[in-house]
Structure 1
Amino acid sequence: MIVRTLREIAGTERDVNWGNGQSRRFLLEADGMGFAFTETLILAGTDIFIQYRNHLEACYCVEGEGEIQREGGDTHPIAPGTLYALNDHDPHYLRAWTDMRLISVFNPPIKGNERHNLSGDETSSY
């Protein structure tokens, strides 16, 4: 059985500052669950282009507001109670109007050392 608290993760290698917020990584590949589970804080004013080429991700918003926009496509508001799933390695823009807190699941699981690429290149390192 694995039991972890946010308090235990805070300030450790599982608490990753990615430039526009924090990624708290509760479950990683090494935990052997077949998926990763994170809580991510996205800071107000964030406007970032992301694509996960190696992972599928589902996010559930528990706090804050913003939007997600598929590259060259539709835009959807994000607010508490909204889930979005990047089921086709979708390149997308993520924008936070207020601080947002998302609960995310990655498949296959992330290792834990991945970082978003904030240099303006086309993809993150996921």
Structure 2
Amino acid sequence: MLIRTHKDAENDAVEDDKWISRRYTLRSDGMGHSMHETYIKPGKELHMWYKNHKETVLCIEGEGKIQDLTEGGEWELKPGVLYALDKNQQHILSSKKGMTVICAFSPALVGPESHDEQGSYPLLDDDGTVMRR
């Protein structure tokens, strides 16, 4: 059994000027997915396109919105609202006052991944080398 605390996840956190991702589980945990708590900083807008991963996201605090750039549509996010990027959709995620979401990625992230210029995570091998951008 794995038990992780918020403090444990902070040790594997990745941050930039728009978000903080606290990574609770990673590929090395053998779960088949990774689980993250991500905080979208107030007033930020993120253009993302997870070409190499599927992602499921549950809003647990704050409010924001997601815009699907691939299939169209825009939805308000608030606690209890979930979205899943089942077709690697390009999207824009934003929050005016800050928002916390729980994210599951498949395949699992290794740990150090950060968004590239297209808003994507590279697919990393277990040792952190890039398998696919």
Please give the TM-score of this superposition, normalised by the length of structure 1.
0.90
Poorly superposed stretches of 4+, deviation over 3 Å: none
* Cα 1:7–1:122 shift into 2, 3 Å: closer
Give 1:84 shift. 0.4
Partners of 2:37 and 2:46 in 1: CA distance? 18
- Identify the residue that residue 82 of structure 1 maps to in structure 2: 81
User: C-alpha displacement at 1:116, in angstroms?
Assistant: 1.7
Structure 2: which amino acid aligns with 1:115?
S
Tell me the secondary structure at the aligned position of residue 89 of structure 2: coil
Identity %, equivalent residues: 36
Q: Displacement of 1:8 after TM fit?
A: 2.3
For the 8 Å contact 1:18–1:116, the answer to whether it is kept is no
Q: Which residue of structure 2 aligns with residue 52 of structure 1? A: 50
Q: What root-mean-square deviation, in Å, do the aligned CA atoms of Structure 1 and Structure 2 show?
A: 1.3
Q: Which residue of 2 aligns with 1:26?
A: 24
1:114 aligns to 2:110 (yes or no): no
How much does 1:21 deviate? 1.7
Aligned partners of 2:104 and 2:8: how far apart in 1? 20
Could you tell me which of 58, 62, 65 is aligned with 2:63? 65
Where structure 1 has 5 or more consecutive residues not aligned to the other structure, the ranges are none
Q: Which segments of 5 or more consecutive residues in structure 2 lack a partner in the other structure?
A: 123-133
1:4 is aligned to: 4
Deviation at 1:78, TM superposition (A): 0.5
Q: Deviations over 1:29-70 (max 9, x none)?
A: 011011100000001111121000111000000001110001
Return the TM-score normalized by structure 2: 0.85
Residue in 1 that maps onto 2:95: 96
Give the distance between the partners of 1:48 and 1:99, measured in 2 at CA.
Answer: 12
Counterpart amino acid of 1:30?
Answer: S
The alignment partner of 1:30 has SS state of helix
| Structure 2 SS opposite 1:2 | coil
